[in-house]
Every structure is written in C-alpha cells, then in structure tokens.
Amino acid sequence: MEDVFPNLSQVPEEIRTHLEKMIDWLRQAIVGRNELDRFRGAEHILKVCDSSGNLVCLFKAFNAGDENLAKNEACVYLLDHPENDHRSVSPKIYGFSRVRPTVFLRFRLGNEMKMGILIEYAESKGCARRSGLGIPVNEVHKILITDIRFGNSDRNVENVLVQESENGAIQLVPVDHEMCFGNEVQPYNICSPCWLGWLKEEMNLNQVFSSESVSYVTGLDVEKDIEFVRRCGWEPGIEFSEKFKVFGTFLKKAVFQGLTGFHIGLIAAFKCENMNFNLQSIIDDVARDDDFYDNVGIRLEEALKQYQEEV
C-alpha cells in the first residue's frame, strides 16, 4: 500500500489490528489480478473476499481529483467515537452510530493506480424503507447525529442497513458517506435525509433525544477531533474545518436547547417555512471576519431560541 489514512500507528491497537486485517484481505485479493469483481454492478465499488471466498470488504474507488472526498469518508469512521470515549483512546471497533471501519488507501492493481476507501462489509437484514419495522427513534437519532456532524447531503434508504442485536432489537447502520460536506451550492443544507420523513410520518415529532444521545453530543470536541485527524496523517484544510466546526456548533446548541430531532432536521435540511430559520440562511448572515466562529455561535443561539418560541 503506497498511502494509508489514518496512520495506523496513531490509533489504538485494537483499531490498528482490525484495519490491518482488512488491508491484508485486500492484499490477498489482488495478488496476480488486474481487477476485482464489481459489487452489484457498480463500476467504482469492488468486492474484496477472504481466502474462503467470503465477502469481507468493499473498495470504493475515487477519481484522482477527489482525494479529499475519500478522506472525508474515512474521517466519518475515525470520528464516530464510541459512547463515553474518544476514538483516539478507545479499543472499541464500532462507534456511537455504528459506522463501519473505513480506511483510505492508494495502491497499484495491475498496471493501474487505485485510490479510495476500504470499508468493512455488512449485510442488511431488512429494508429501511418498509413501514412497520418498529425502528426505535433512538436508532434514527444516532444516524441523524452523524449526518449533522458531517453535513451529509445524501442520506437515503439505500445507505441505511437494518440489522438485529443479539437480543433481537433492530439496529441501523449508516453507510456511504461520500457526500459528507459535499453540497457545494449550499454547504449548510443537508437536503432531504430519509430519516426526516421517518420522524414526520412514523414517529412522535416531539420525541426528545435520549440521555445517551444528549451526553454523546455534549461530549463532542471539534478542536480535539481536528487535531486527531492531523495526527493521523491528514491536514483537512479550511473547507473541512469550517463546516465541521459550524455543523458541530449547530448540533450542540440545538440539542442543548432541547430541540427534537425532527426540528433539527428541518433547520439543517432547508425545510423551515420561515427561511430565516434554515441553517444555511443563518450562516449566510454571519460576517466572515476574524470573529466568524464566535459570531456563528451567538447567531445560532439567537435563531434557535426564536425558532423554539415560534413552534
């Protein structure tokens, strides 16, 4: 492998061992081959099987100019911290939202250089679009939290896997985070996430976040996360850093003020009837000077309080 992110020396031993195993599967899969089989016909998603032929990983290839998009997606796993802990020190493989282990790679396959992400494969046990699945609202909130943190503008039913816990409870697993911070026209608009419809049609609109979710959001530290990304071998740059900070500030202040997931979704997805309450509009009103981040926090507090009073 000619390039690996995160730097495996900077993550806990358990995470390093897990990612190294995934990379070893890829190494074994490409020996003597010029190409890998496509996954469900997708040209840019390739299957990685172990020595027994079991599908264990997927490799999603990116174009040469989209390295930052690929690393964004690797960051979603890296920063999906386990509950009550930080990825930089936690031995737990899966984080709060159950994002699959993901690692950015650059390597040669035959005569071609490949660049993209290697993702642990997970099978879906059902279809998230079906009504009556009995999905716990807390599971939806976990995906919501990840989508807000990373400005994901492409959350649809095809990239939400349905699984069962050991005791038979339904769990959701978010996959495919290529469009995190990917809305170039309206960077603070996550468009129409499928979970917004679920919260509106199938669940209580006034369902508050669980104490578990509130504690998780409260404990998030954007500056610590950005520094961790740097230690892991990537300087994310101003575009990633700004959006990550702004979305993080919005999420923390909205949860602190007691807004429900549905209303947070409306604001982030540009769905508020009063345009002034949409996140994109709020940020557009803030002058981009040396006090930008402080003023974003002040303006968000004002707008969210006013929103609460009106709804």
CB contact at 8 A, 15 and 22 = no
Q: What confidence score (pLDDT) does residue 203 get?
A: 61
pLDDT digit string, tens, across residues 50-85: 999 999 999 999 998 999 999 999 999 999 999 999
Q: Are residues 186 and 306 in the same domain?
A: yes
Torsion of CA 23, 28, 34, 35, to 10 degrees: -60
Q: Are residues 15 and 108 in the same domain?
A: yes
pLDDT per position in the chain (311 positions), as tens?
889 999 999 999 999 999 999 999 999 999 988 889 999 988 899 999 999 999 999 999 999 899 999 999 999 999 999 999 999 999 999 999 999 999 999 999 988 999 999 999 999 987 776 544 578 899 999 999 999 999 999 999 999 999 988 888 889 999 999 999 999 999 999 999 999 988 887 666 788 999 999 999 999 999 999 999 999 999 998 999 999 999 999 999 999 999 999 999 999 999 999 999 999 999 999 999 999 999 999 999 999 999 999 98
Q: What confidence score (pLDDT) does residue 202 get?
A: 64
Q: Are residues 54 and 141 in the same domain?
A: no
Q: Are residues 104 and 187 in the same domain?
A: no
- Whether 178 is covered by a domain: the verdict is yes
Q: Is 284 helix (H, G, I), strand (E, B) or coil?
A: helix
Q: Are residues 32 and 180 in the same domain?
A: no
Q: Which residue has the tokens 């003597």?
A: 32
Q: Are residues 145 and 39 in the same domain?
A: no
Supply φ then ψ for residue 109, to 5 degrees. -120, 105
pTM reported for the whole predicted model = 0.95
Q: Are residues 74 and 169 in the same domain?
A: no
Return the DSSP state at 8: G
- Total structural domains within the chain: 2
Distance between CA atoms of 208 and 212, rounded to whole angstroms?
11
Q: Are residues 186 and 277 in the same domain?
A: yes
Q: Are residues 164 and 292 in the same domain?
A: yes
- Whether 128 is covered by a domain: the verdict is no
Cβ neighbours for 105, distance < 8 A, ≥ 6 positions apart: 1, 3, 4, 23, 26, 59, 114, 115, 116, 117, 118
Q: How many CA atoms lie within 13 A of 143 on its CB side?
A: 31
109 beta partners: 112
CB contact at 8 A, 111 and 142 = no
- Whether 285 is covered by a domain: the verdict is yes
By residue count, the chain amounts to 311
Distance between CA atoms of 300 and 306, rounded to whole angstroms?
10
Identify which of 153, 237, 156 has the alpha carbon closest to the alpha carbon of residue 187. 153
Q: What confidence score (pLDDT) does residue 51 get?
A: 93
Return the DSSP state at 99: P
- Whether 126 is covered by a domain: the verdict is no
Q: Are residues 221 and 77 in the same domain?
A: no
- Whether 131 is covered by a domain: the verdict is no
Q: What angle do CA 234, 190, 146 make, to 5 degrees?
A: 55
Q: What confidence score (pLDDT) does residue 131 get?
A: 46
Identify which of 240, 311, 221 has the alpha carbon closest to the alpha carbon of residue 69. 240
Can you give the residue range of the structural domain that contains 95? 3-120
- Whether 129 is covered by a domain: the verdict is no
Q: What confidence score (pLDDT) does residue 132 get?
A: 42
With 0-12 / 13-18 / 19 or more C-beta atoms within 10 angstroms meaning exposed / middle / buried, residue 214 is: middle
Structure tokens at 67: 């390295």
